[in-house]
């Protein structure tokens, strides 16, 4: 059994190897950590502008493109003011 199985049906944050950050509900995964997420949003950070949120809907991510998966505290996430957040975009993973 995967260590991610307890995260199914929970809101998670996924950082991909290319530096993108996707937030959504984890709906399923397989033995190679390919994941299916529902109600996904990509959050695009900038040092000069507010966080841009792009709705993605249902989204599948290949396991070899995933750098990090973490649970999100929904109360804390709902309290975030994305309009006032600024941050340097993540750089792609270098092998």
For 24-72, the pLDDT digits (tens) are: 999 999 999 999 999 999 999 988 998 999 999 999 999 999 999 999 9
The span from the CA of 46 to the CA of 44, in Å, is: 7
Report helix, strand or coil for 65.
helix
Nearest one of 76, 92, 95, 94 to 18, comparing CA atoms = 92
| pLDDT reported for residue 2 | 75
* pTM of the complete model beyond 0.75: yes
pLDDT over 50 (residue 1)? no
């Amino acid at each position: 059994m995967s260590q991610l199985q307890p995260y199914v049906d929970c809101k998670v944050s996924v950082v991909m190897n290319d530096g993108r950050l996707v937030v959504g509900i984890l709906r399923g995964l397989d033995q190679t950590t390919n994941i299916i997420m529902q109600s996904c949003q990509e959050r695009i950070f900038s040092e000069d502008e507010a966080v841009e949120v792009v709705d993605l809907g249902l989204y599948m991510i290949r396991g070899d493109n995933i750098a990090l998966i973490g649970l999100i505290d929904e109360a804390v996430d709902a309290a975030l003011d994305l309009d006032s957040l600024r941050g340097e975009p993540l750089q792609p993973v270098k092998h």
